[in-house]
Amino acid sequence: MKKISLNRKVYHLPENWTEVKKEDLPVLLRLLYTQPPGGSTYLEILRIALGHTEKEWFKLMRHYFGPKRSESQVNRNANILAETMNLVSWMWQADLIIPPFESFQVNSQPWLLFEEGFKSMSFGEMADAHIHAQAFIKQLIAGEQRLNLLVASVCRPELSGDYKSDPEWNGDRREPYNEHVTRLRAESLNDNYAAEKILVLMYFLGSLKEFFSFYDLFENDGSAPPVAEDYPGQSLVKNQHLLSEKHIFGGMSATKAANVHEVFQFLEEHRKDIKAQNQRSKQAHESY
């Protein structure tokens, strides 16, 4: 937290998303991702970050920028406000990598969001969600159809029964991912839940970028697949087929159900082995 002093009062401003109060997180993210960017939005973000009520904030603004202030005083106060605003500007610059909420209600049923860091996400779920996200961004199908599919993929109802006592439980509180059920559930999101869908999209994209950066699989900065693809997620789909053909995790169903971290750890080690083998071959060729 950044400790600052304004008007002889001490404030503590968050310096990253993990330091934001949980009760403030949803409203801040809605302001960032569902409201037009601009002065009024950023001022509202600053008000919340400083912990002022709307009534307190109105009094402060009137006190420092009201008609009783001279032009030089207003300019000085505006500079201080701008400097303070800059301390929270990371909010509209940093990727969203922590859950904006735990769940949201769809037809009176809570849909749980995926865990931070893709901890219990399957390879198949991540691949399909990535494909839906890219297809929506590129508008391969006009409208929100692919956004709805993304949200229905990564947000699902909670498992029933005493699942935490099951020795086979993998840590995911959500129902198992099923692409066919996902398509049916996505219809429930049509023309509704706009704010929640945008937050889920931003959270998924931020989490995906961070996830890719963990693994030495790409030639660039690690934030995205390195080469142009014929269709979104082509490299992930290709790896699904290659892994299932070799039965590394089992057949196609087992490969898709495997934990995404375990899959990427294998792919990373395999890539290192291939690079080392190519290097040895190159050295052997040069020695002739």
DSSP-H helix ranges across the chain: 25-34, 39-50, 54-65, 71-86, 123-137, 145-154, 179-186, 194-213, 234-245, 252-257, 260-287
Mean pLDDT in residue range 160-166: 96
Q: Which residue has the higher pLDDT, 234 or 152?
A: 152
- Together in a domain, 194 and 222: yes
In a domain, 282, yes or no: no
pLDDT band at 222 (very low <50, low <70, confident <90, very high): very low
| Range of lowest pLDDT (118-122, 175-179, 206-210, 274-278) | 274-278
Question: How do residues 262-271 score in pLDDT, each as one tens digit?
Answer: 999 999 999 8
User: 133 pLDDT exceeds 50?
Assistant: yes
Domain boundary among 92, 115, 133: 92
In a domain, 68, yes or no: yes
Mean pLDDT in residue range 241-260: 96
User: 255 pLDDT exceeds 70?
Assistant: yes
pLDDT band at 227 (very low <50, low <70, confident <90, very high): low
Residue span of the structural domain in which 142 resides: 103-276
How far, in Å, CA of 261 to CA of 115, rounded?
13
Kind plus residue range of the DSSP H or E element containing 165:
none
- Together in a domain, 81 and 136: no
What's residue 138's pLDDT? 85
What's residue 223's pLDDT? 47
Count structural domains, the chain. 2
Task: List, as one string, the DSSP characters of 86-118.
Answer: HTTGGGGTS---S-S-SEEEETTEEEEPPPGGG
User: 57 pLDDT exceeds 50?
Assistant: yes
User: 45 pLDDT exceeds 50?
Assistant: yes
In a domain, 98, yes or no: no
Beta-strand relationship, 109-112 and 103-106: antiparallel
Domain boundary among 92, 113, 135: 92
Residues 6+ apart with CB under 8 A from 97: 17, 116, 117, 203, 206, 207, 210
In a domain, 30, yes or no: yes
Percent pLDDT > 90 in the chain is: 67
